[in-house]
């Protein structure tokens, strides 16, 4: 079996790895597509120096083997099913998991290849083995859509913790890939309107074509969109939180979805939060109930047009280095890798 390993900035190699064995409660998935996200970009560019490492966690593929304990079990994936795969390793034991907040599992994530190389998913490979409970069937949806299961689950998590209700006025700061998924899912959930805010006029034009009710640069957001019930920050840039708070109507909520620089601090008025009953929450990753909804949405086809528009390019696994270079150096939505 082949697996891609990043060994240094801008250096990627395909290594031979023993074919994985399938445990009694596991399934073997032949990888059809794996999305490249910000983590892969940072590893490739050297912004996150952790080498060697086998990345790739946005995985979908076809079930090629099923463990004895789950074979034929009602609801469990079967050989031939297309699945989207959750590669997080939730322990189920720590304080966060016991509280039902397994996205914040306190046990370190990741695994290792046979030679000890650290794995951050290792989905840039011919196949992966996962617990059957972490493989979600996506029906007849294209493999490109199924490969977006993890980011869609993250956005489901964001909307759930943010408390989005049908009829809410929504703004999204950041019109990149995750911002566009927030646009698609908020509209699907019945938001009255969804506005998009970005510094890129090109991205705003594409968001408007995808159904945004209004678009604006950060400085024009309040004038263009007016007050909002819910503001999602998907791009953690300086000034984004301040813009989000200024957009909130009384009783509004700001959801900090995108990552911010660790040394960034901002001034927010506690009195304004108190008197206007504003909420500011952080969201991170996803949980099993988010995966169930994400897989069902993908299988239903209601997001098909939105997901189609977010596939920038596809590469075979042999061309993973070229794919990583494109994803790391060019404005893209999603670059997918998989197959021959």
Residues 14 and 128 sit within 8 Å (Cβ to Cβ): no
Task: Choose among 33, 29, 56: nearest CA to 135.
Answer: 29
Spell out the long-range contacts of 244-251 with Cβ–Cβ below 8 A and sequence spacing 24 or more.
244/171, 244/173, 245/272, 245/278, 245/280, 246/221, 246/222, 247/171, 247/221, 247/222, 248/276, 248/278, 249/169, 250/276, 250/277, 251/276, 251/277, 251/278
Mean pLDDT of 46-52: 90
Res 303: pLDDT: 98
pLDDT in the model for residue 222:
95
Bridge partners (DSSP) listed for residue 81: none
The mean pLDDT value of the chain amounts to 96
Q: What is the pLDDT of residue 109?
A: 81
Exposure class string for 139-166: b at 16+ Cβ within 10 A, else e: eebbbbbbbbbbbbbbbbbbbbbbebee
State the span(s) of the chain assigned CATH 3.90.180.10.
2-148+310-337
For residue 340, pLDDT over 80 is answered with: no
- The whole-number pLDDT of residue 88 equals 87
pLDDT 10s digits, 27-39? 999 999 999 999 9
The residues, ordered by sequence, that sit 6+ positions from 183 with a Cβ below 8 Å of its Cβ are: 172, 175, 194, 196, 207, 210, 211, 212, 306
> Which pLDDT band, with edges at 50, 70 and 90, does 339 fall under?
confident
pLDDT by residue (tens digit) across 82-136? 999 999 889 999 999 999 999 999 998 888 999 999 999 999 999 999 999 999 9
Per-residue pLDDT of 134-148, as tens digits, reads: 999 999 999 999 999
Residues of the chain with CATH 3.40.50.720: 155-282
Please give the average per-residue pLDDT across 237-243, as a whole number: 94
Tell the CATH superfamily of the 155-282 domain: NAD(P)-binding Rossmann-like Domain (3.40.50.720)
What's the pLDDT tens digit per position in 208-233?
A: 999 999 999 999 999 999 999 999 99
**Tens digit of each residue's pLDDT (9 = 90 or more) over 178-212:** 999 999 999 999 999 999 999 999 999 999 999 99
Q: For residue 48, is pLDDT > 90? A: no
Mean pLDDT of 166-170: 98
Q: May I ask the CATH class of domain 2-148+310-337?
A: alpha beta
Residue 63 has a pLDDT of 98
Q: How confident is the model at residue 50 (pLDDT cuts 50, 70, 90)?
A: confident
Q: Is 28 helix (H, G, I), strand (E, B) or coil?
A: strand
At 160, list the tokens: 């759930």
Determine the average pLDDT of the residues in 243-250.
97
């Amino acid at each position: 079996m082949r697996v891609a390993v990043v060994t240094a900035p801008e250096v990627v190699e395909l290594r031979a790895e023993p074919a994985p064995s399938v445990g009694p409660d596991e399934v073997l998935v032949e990888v059809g597509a794996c999305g490249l996200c910000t983590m892969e970009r940072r590893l490739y560019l050297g912004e996150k120096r952790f080498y060697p490492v086998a990345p790739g966690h946005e995985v979908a593929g076809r079930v090629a083997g099923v463990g004895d304990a789950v074979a034929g079990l009602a609801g469990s994936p079967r050989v031939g099913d297309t699945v989207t795969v959750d590669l997080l390793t939730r322990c189920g034991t720590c304080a966060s998991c016991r509280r039902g907040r397994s996205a914040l599992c306190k046990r370190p994530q990741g695994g290792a290849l046979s030679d000890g190389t650290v794995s951050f998913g290792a989905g840039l490979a011919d196949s992966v083995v996962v617990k059957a409970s972490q493989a979600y069937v996506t029906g007849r949806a294209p493999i490109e859509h199924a490969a977006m299961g993890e980011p869609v689950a993250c956005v489901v998590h964001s909307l759930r913790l943010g408390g989005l209700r049908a009829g809410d006025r929504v703004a999204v700061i950041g019109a990149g890939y995750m911002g566009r998924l927030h646009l698609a899912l908020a509209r699907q959930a019945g938001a009255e309107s969804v506005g998009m805010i970005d510094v890129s006029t090109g991205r705003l034009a594409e968001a408007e074509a995808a159904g945004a009710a209004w678009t604006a640069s950060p400085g024009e957001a309040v004038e263009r969109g007016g007050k909002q019930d819910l503001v999602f920050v998907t791009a953690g840039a300086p000034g984004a939180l301040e813009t989000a708070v200024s957009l909130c109507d009384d009783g509004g909520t700001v959801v900090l979805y995108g990552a911010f620089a660790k040394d960034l601090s901002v001034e927010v008025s506690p009195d304004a939060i108190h008197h206007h009953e504003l909420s500011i929450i952080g969201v991170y990753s996803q949980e099993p109930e988010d995966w169930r909804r994400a897989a069902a949405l993908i299988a239903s086809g209601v997001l098909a047009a939105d997901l189609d528009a977010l596939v920038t390019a596809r590469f075979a696994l042999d061309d993973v280095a070229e794919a990583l270079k494109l994803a790391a150096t060019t404005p893209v939505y999603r670059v997918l890798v998989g197959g021959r």
